[in-house]
Amino acid sequence: MSEPHEEPGQLPPDLSEFESLLEYRFRDPHLLLRALTHRSYVNEHEGEGLLHNESLEFLGDAVLGFLVSSRSFRRFPELQEGALSKIKAYLVSAANLVHFARRIRLGDFMLLSKGEEKTGGRTKRAILVDAYEALIGAMYLDGGIEAASAFLVKQLEEILDTLDAEHIVFGDFKSALQERLHNLGRSEPVYRVVNEIGPDHRKTFVVQVLVDGQAIAEASGRTKKEAQQAAARIALDSMAGH
């Protein structure tokens, strides 16, 4: 009598739950598993022939850039290249990608090493951002550009509907925060890099903004400048109404 086996393409219950959150069912579940597999898990299970998500992340970053550029162009056809580039940079910033990742509970379904798990890997921004990009890459390979686009449009619409394009294009959050603090009679903000994650060619910077020695906001970005602007924006949002 043969042993019972899963149907081809069938996922464990937890990943089926994740597919429900994505509103997308993978034809090849191994692509989804790979997108969710962190390098630390592969290292911990050496010799088992597992693949981590870093090459999918590379692909997903390119697909994400193309789709966001296309969507931005269609949404703001009157804007010039420089303005569209700023909107794209804002939409694919680590601060927004980690928001997207958390909204679909991406961290809950990742395969991490025991050590990474103990140090809070499921909530680490860099891990979530990289896995989100890998997920986009996996969707592209599984269902083509249409599948990746359909998923991403649902993720982006909320932000695009409320996006103040002029503020993104012409705004300077650091200057706005400094002016806001000045009007409140408080000290000027100080920006401090508290972490640098990843290899030199794809480093993520984590920056805190401090006022009177107290951290009031934290954000990450592909460059120090991007991280500083993102932290200033978060600080301004938290001060709204004060």
Q: How far is CA 128 from CA 49, 51, 100, 210, 213, in A?
A: 23, 17, 9, 25, 29
Rounded CA separation 56/50 (Å): 14
**CA of residue 69 relative to chain centroid, distance:** 16
**Which H or E run includes 119?**
none
Give the type of residue at 96.
N
221 CB contacts (<8 Å, ≥6 apart)?
A: 93, 94, 95, 204, 205, 207, 227, 228, 229, 230
Largest CA-CA distance found in the chain, in angstroms, rounded: 80
Instruction: Report residue 192 as tokens.
Output: 């401090």
Counts of helices then strands in the chain (DSSP H, E): 11, 3
**CA of residue 183 relative to chain centroid, distance:** 34
Residues belonging to the active site: 61, 133
What is the C-alpha radius of gyration for the chain, rounded to an integer number of angstroms? Answer: 20
242 CB contacts (<8 Å, ≥6 apart)?
A: 184
What are φ and ψ of residue 46, in 5° steps? -60, 140
What SS3 class is residue 103? helix
**CA of residue 175 relative to chain centroid, distance:** 25
